Structure 1
């Protein structure tokens, strides 16, 4: 699975040098996908792994290639990707020459479309659109050296993390995905937000050391907590860890109530969200992405 996804990325030109190929291999997108969806179908896991690889490459373009600190450059790139999303993977429409990121994104949408779940495809497209637009907010902050307030950051971080579309493809890969009625259950939606927050905050804690070395004003939970409280780095790191632990306690309470008050049909969906939280932690400890 890991080698197949790297070859997919190479075939679309997402990685075009030995260094970038090695970096993508070390990121272990397949390991993260496998931990998050251990019972998923092979095709579903390939889709999920390729999406994670795509997100890694997009993240690297923003963080390491300077795209994410220059809204003037990022805007046209996102406009092109939004045009790809508007086509919803239609195989009868030849996409314009949009470059590796756009071509690979079209391939993801096309393959999702083949599964025949129109509502899921539209949800995925909407979530990736929100991710792309949130990147513009982040780029503006970076350009202006602006550290947002905590409440603002928490809300937009949910989209920048790219976790929502990953959950959607995890549901697609699952042997028992939630049905349309279950998918809009208010308790499951609440659990979704809590899981997304936990995944993003875990990522922030593990990536803070690397990010803060490259940019003292990094868009990171630790940075925004430090600014809002006026405390130093050590206290802000502890505050971020405390926020994660409090969020996890809330998550477990909501999860217990949801399972107690619903039929067995929501069990797999709940397990998927729990798996993503644990998978992110385990993957972060083992992978070299934040070294």
Structure 2
């Protein structure tokens, strides 16, 4: 399936949600640690030499990545800032790596996947050295992230990271063949390729709390988790549309909707925001079910209930915070083609 964008004046597209959209009813919060997070992100990039040019460093600073973390984790503990900043630095650089030197081919991807997973041992203990800069940086982040977390949390996070990495190969195939996928397969892949699932796992880390496994596996919690992920990635698809058209990207939900419905891009954008509104309504429905379930579930400690409340509020912060950040970040405000990573050796070490 394909969609033509040759006659599109992207400057005329209205990519903002309508004023009455339920996104704006979600609470807008921000951590007081935003400035420190911005500094830590640049420190991580500098320490592991992830950026090659001054323009790339300017691009990372203009991304306002620390602001995203501050909005998505408004309750983050001061002693958890450095690992969070490190993980988001890694995630954005590797995302650009696959938009750049790793974006057109799948050769060597299995090796890259194996390297990344090797940097995430379940016990958090590393026994070897890593040649590729992105793998070394991830290993350093993981040592900090894994230390205070349970084995169950680590396993969930590692599985989400595997999904994140695996999705890059499928996007590369679509990009190589200029194939815009249908909406259903795209939506399932996008939840993984957006990297949002490990981000949502980090809500527990940021708060120093863990949601019990029995709650994690419950239907209401899992629905809330998935709806949150979908809201974040679909809003991101709209707000990154200009940038992605500029670099020739085909894996975008707006393009998928436009191709499947045979409609213009503005109509597709409006349809995406209706879909997002439905996801938010379903999230609130599942939230009420989760509240009733927890109230009737004996054996939950006060810390367990607090963890659930913080995680639920964190999901709301992610949905709203992603919107507010995207409207300020140079990553989406400026539709240029500068990527944070251009060196094939940063991941392949060859």
Pairing partner for 1:207 from 235, 240, 250 = 240
The one-character-per-residue Cα deviations of 1:84-128 (angstroms, maximum 9, x if unpaired) are 23576414x02332x111011111221122214222122211111
Contact 2:123–2:151 (8 Å) recurs in 1: no
Contact 1:84–1:95 (8 Å) recurs in 2: no
The answer to which structure has the higher helix fraction is: 1
Aligned pairs for 1:49-64 within 5 A: 49-63=85-99
Q: Which residue of 2 aligns with 1:256?
A: 288
CA pair 20-112 structure 1, distance change in 2 beyond 3 A: same
Q: Which residue of 2 aligns with 1:96?
A: 130
Tell me the TM-score normalized by structure 1: 0.92
Contact 1:48–1:166 (8 Å) recurs in 2: no
Deviation, structure 1 residue 165: 0.8
The one-character-per-residue Cα deviations of 1:235-287 (angstroms, maximum 9, x if unpaired) are 11111121112212222222233224323442112111111111101111121
Tell me the TM-score normalized by structure 2: 0.77
Q: Which residue of 2 aligns with 1:42?
A: 78
Contact 2:149–2:205 (8 Å) recurs in 1: no
Q: Secondary structure at the match of 2:331?
A: coil
Q: Secondary structure at the match of 2:119?
A: helix
Unmatched segments (≥5 aa) in structure 1: none
In 2, Cα distance between equivalents of 1:162 and 1:232? 28
Q: Which residue of 2 aligns with 1:28?
A: 64
Q: Which residue of 2 aligns with 1:168?
A: 201
Aligned pairs for 1:264-283 within 5 A: 264-265=305-306, 266-283=308-325
Q: Which residue of 1 aligns with 2:32?
A: none
Q: Secondary structure at the match of 1:219?
A: coil
Pairing partner for 1:177 from 210, 217, 221 = 210
- Once superposed, which parts of structure 1, at least 4 consecutive aligned residues long, lie more than 6 Å away? none
Deviation, structure 1 residue 176: 3.7
Q: Secondary structure at the match of 1:70?
A: coil
Pairing partner for 2:277 from 245, 253, 263 = 245
Contact 2:231–2:279 (8 Å) recurs in 1: yes
Does 2:271 correspond to 1:229?
no
In 2, Cα distance between equivalents of 1:86 and 1:262? 33
Aligned pairs for 1:70-219 within 5 A: 70-86=105-121, 89-91=124-126, 93-97=127-131, 99-215=132-248, 218-219=250-251
Contact 1:68–1:74 (8 Å) recurs in 2: no
With a CA cutoff of 8 Å and minimum separation of 6, indicate the structure with the bigger relative contact order. Answer: 2
The one-character-per-residue Cα deviations of 1:148-204 (angstroms, maximum 9, x if unpaired) are 111100001010011111111221111443123222222111100000000000110
